[in-house]
Structure 1
Amino acid sequence: MKTSHKNLLFPYTVLSLMILCHGKDLFFNDNGNLVLPGSYNIPWMAGIEDFRDLSLLTIPGTHDSMALHGGPEAECQVLSLKDQLRVGIRYLDLKVFALGNTMYVMHGVMYQHSSFKEVLDTVQAFLSEFKTEAVIIRVKPESFEKDSVNQMVQSLIGNDKHVWVNSGMPTMGQVRGKIVFVQKSTFTLGIPLIDTESKDGNKVNNIKDKDNAIIKHLNQAAEAFGGDNIVLTYSSGTGFGTFWGMFLTPKRVAEKVNPWLNQYLRQFYPNHPRPCFGVIAMDFPGIDLIQTVINLNWW
């Protein structure tokens, strides 16, 4: 299966750069009041075969999933965690700061009004209601207490059978109803994670360059999927800290990138099988973009 996807993206790269344009529709969302259609398929993973490895799925995720507070330069999402899960997000990106006996969810120096335990409680409540689903969580330890986060997370989850902390790649059937941790750098619980983005790769000077970077990273993801790692690509970015992109907040980047990304991904719908891109972590994703990512799983 893996070899049949290799090099699928290359023929489309030049064409897509010429024809895809930016706009604002249901692919970008900055409205925190989620209203789902009555027919909306919340438990979309129910349609994934039990035998498929998690690394063979294309999964919609959010970058800095809890970054709803702190002003334009800090805010990356608008939907609450509960609503993100209901709309189809299955990968969460969390920066965690350990202080005393509590782990706080942060974005830089901005506290995001939630503890890590509260995040786990929300996810577990969702999985109790929708037992066919699985939610992948990446923990990024922050500040001077990085080394203690591993131990604190392990103590918090204990021997909970509804949490996957093994390094082996599970099948969908093995993780239904479970939280799945991924490991990278100083956090060592769960499945190894490959991040296609280089250091400072989230810095955006202009949108066209960001488009090109996303295409490059999706090419890498399509090559690397299906192994013993979860592969992650970020479509998010910010101009904060750059000169030419100083006014490109995460929201303004997403407003331009998200409709483009939706159209770029949809060009692969005629492919049988469709390419696998692993996790795509987004800022301010709209319902239609999330559905476009999900529908790459149906061949």
Structure 2
Amino acid sequence: MKAGHRCLLFHCILLSVTFLCHGNNVFFNDNSNLILPGSYNIPWMAGIEDFRILSSITIPGSHDSMALYGGPEVKCQALSLRDQLRAGIRFLDLKVFGLGDTLYVMHGVMFQRSTLKDVLATVRTFLSEFRSEAVLIRVQPESFEKSTVNQMVQSLIGNDQHVWVNSGMPNMGQVRGKIVFLQKSTFTLGIPLIDTGRKGSNEVSDVKNKDNRIIKQLNQATIACGGDNVVLTYTSGTGFGTFWGMFLTPKGVAEKVNPWLNQYLRQFYPNQPRPCFGVIAMDFPGFDLIQTVINLNWW
């Protein structure tokens, strides 16, 4: 083989390996540069009827939405918050640590270079551009004085009429253009939340077992959909903390789970109407997986 041909072959192989290693398939994405397809519909909630209650809608979300820093053990997302919203994500999962008068967004002990004030500003900017949308936010206090987080969040939002903090279940028409808080445990602002996961649900030593666990959780979600609570299922996981899965990072789990999840959800497309699954919160979701979740809403 001539040197020029060998060089060309080498570059082709290198490009192929790079493409595969970066997981740039349509269901998993670890590329931080958002390139939306020309036909991508950012304001997808515009197609949801005003009368439909929020708990009856299937919503794509991100787990540990701001976890972009701290290495493979910590990182759960590739896209910035702004780009996640533009890609279709409508549920944000935030762990916060209160220090002084500031709520810092964390993942474990790792500061994620953002405060809750920053997050709310980004979401407000997005909603001012796309007024048909609503963004659900779960706040999980990580500080020692967890009870003070409610007061700090309330102080941040003030009397903003574009933030939903009531416990009653609204319909889509009532929350367009608004941030919707979800309450659970020590955080008591917003709509009550049901989490289908149990203690240890995020621990993965075998991905197949994780798939089966997600099926059970989604079955629970279907039963609970349309009620007085928003129902949430996390598809994320990590092998850290387990013996057999100690090398499974959140990214490694998502690379395997996301294509499977897309195939699992697609089987419901012939259904009329399609089942409701509530919020599905994912690590490293690709555009097509997000669209698969969204399209469950179209009967």
The residue that corresponds to 1:4 in the other structure is none
1:198 aligns with 2:198: yes
Query: Counterparts of 1:24 and 1:151 in 2: how far apart (Å)?
Result: 42
Query: Counterparts of 1:38 and 1:204 in 2: how far apart (Å)?
Result: 37
Query: Counterparts of 2:249 and 2:232 in 1: how far apart (Å)?
Result: 22
The residue that corresponds to 2:181 in the other structure is 181
Larger RCO (CA within 8 A; separation ≥ 6): 1
Equivalent AA in structure 2 for residue 111 of structure 1? F
Report how far residue 146 of structure 1 moved.
1.2
Report how far residue 145 of structure 1 moved.
2.6
C-alpha distance after superposition, 1:62-114 (max 9, x if no partner): 00000000000000000000000000000000000000010000000000000
**Structure 2 unaligned spans of 5+:** 1-22
Report how far residue 39 of structure 1 moved.
1.8
Give the percent of matched residue pairs that are identical in Structure 1 and Structure 2: 80
Report how far residue 143 of structure 1 moved.
2.7
Partner SS state of residue 144, structure 1 = coil
1:69 aligns with 2:69: yes
The residue that corresponds to 2:262 in the other structure is 262
Q: Does structure 1 conserve the Cα–Cα contact (< 8 Å) formed by 2:44 and 2:133? A: yes
Query: Counterparts of 2:94 and 2:58 in 1: how far apart (Å)?
Result: 20
1:167 aligns with 2:167: yes
Report how far residue 24 of structure 1 moved.
7.0
C-alpha distance after superposition, 1:44-77 (max 9, x if no partner): 0000000000000000000000000000000000
The residue that corresponds to 2:227 in the other structure is 227
The residue that corresponds to 2:251 in the other structure is 251
Query: Counterparts of 1:281 and 1:108 in 2: how far apart (Å)?
Result: 18
Query: Counterparts of 1:223 and 1:52 in 2: how far apart (Å)?
Result: 17
C-alpha distance after superposition, 1:214-248 (max 9, x if no partner): 00000000011100000000100000000000000
The residue that corresponds to 1:239 in the other structure is 239
The residue that corresponds to 2:277 in the other structure is 277
Q: Does structure 2 conserve the Cα–Cα contact (< 8 Å) formed by 1:24 and 1:256? A: no
The residue that corresponds to 1:208 in the other structure is 208
Q: Does structure 1 conserve the Cα–Cα contact (< 8 Å) formed by 2:24 and 2:30? A: no
Query: How many residue pairs get matched?
Result: 277
1:147 aligns with 2:147: yes
Q: Does structure 2 conserve the Cα–Cα contact (< 8 Å) formed by 1:57 and 1:276? A: yes
The residue that corresponds to 1:6 in the other structure is none
Equivalent AA in structure 1 for residue 214 of structure 2? I
The residue that corresponds to 2:109 in the other structure is 109
Equivalent AA in structure 2 for residue 158 of structure 1? G
Partner SS state of residue 254, structure 2 = helix
Equivalent AA in structure 2 for residue 53 of structure 1? I
Query: Counterparts of 1:24 and 1:244 in 2: how far apart (Å)?
Result: 27
Q: Does structure 1 conserve the Cα–Cα contact (< 8 Å) formed by 2:135 and 2:179? A: yes
Query: Counterparts of 1:243 and 1:101 in 2: how far apart (Å)?
Result: 40
Equivalent AA in structure 2 for residue 159 of structure 1? N
Query: Counterparts of 2:253 and 2:170 in 1: how far apart (Å)?
Result: 34
Report how far residue 25 of structure 1 moved.
2.2
- When normalised by structure 1's length, the TM-score is 0.92
Q: Does structure 1 conserve the Cα–Cα contact (< 8 Å) formed by 2:66 and 2:112? A: yes
- When normalised by structure 2's length, the TM-score is 0.92
Q: Does structure 2 conserve the Cα–Cα contact (< 8 Å) formed by 1:99 and 1:145? A: no
Equivalent AA in structure 1 for residue 76 of structure 2? C
CA-based RMSD of the aligned residues comes to 0.8
Equivalent AA in structure 1 for residue 79 of structure 2? L
C-alpha distance after superposition, 1:175-211 (max 9, x if no partner): 0000000000000000000000001110001000000
TM superposition outliers: structure 1 runs of 4+ over 6 Å: none
Query: Counterparts of 1:24 and 1:211 in 2: how far apart (Å)?
Result: 21
Partner SS state of residue 103, structure 1 = strand
